[in-house]
């Protein structure tokens, strides 16, 4: 999924609280939101999923994680309006 607008993340140490990410499963977007916490020794990341409004635990071994560049964070991380 890496292109000019997305940066692939291969490990939790590359993420920090507040980083905006998207998670893909088989090239399909399944989660999007800011990082809340990480467990780098286990390859896990918690996010506030703006697609569902829930807190999600993501496993980097199962999903492709990409960081959203700063210029898109305000637009892409904002929760959808009802």
Per-residue pLDDT reduced to its tens digit, 41-63: 898 999 999 888 899 999 999 99
Give this prediction's pTM: 0.73
CATH code, 7-77: 2.30.30.520
Per-residue pLDDT reduced to its tens digit, 2-52: 455 555 566 667 788 888 999 999 999 999 999 999 998 898 999 999 888
Would you list the domain boundaries of the chain? 7-77
Contacts of 29 (CB under 8 A, 6+ apart): 22, 23, 51
The number of residues making up the chain comes to 82
HSE, side-chain direction, 13 A CA sphere, residue 17? 3
The predicted pLDDT at position 28 comes to: 94
Strands 28-39 and 44-48 come out as: antiparallel
The predicted pLDDT at position 16 comes to: 86
């Amino acid at each position: 999924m890496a292109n000019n607008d997305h940066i692939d993340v291969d490990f939790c140490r590359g993420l920090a609280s507040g980083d905006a990410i998207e998670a893909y499963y088989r090239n399909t977007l399944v989660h999007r939101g800011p990082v809340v916490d990480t467990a780098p020794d286990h390859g896990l990341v918690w996010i506030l999923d703006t697609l569902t409004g829930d807190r999600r635990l993501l496993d980097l071994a199962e999903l492709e994680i990409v960081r959203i560049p700063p210029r898109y964070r305000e637009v892409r991380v904002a929760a959808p309006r009802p």
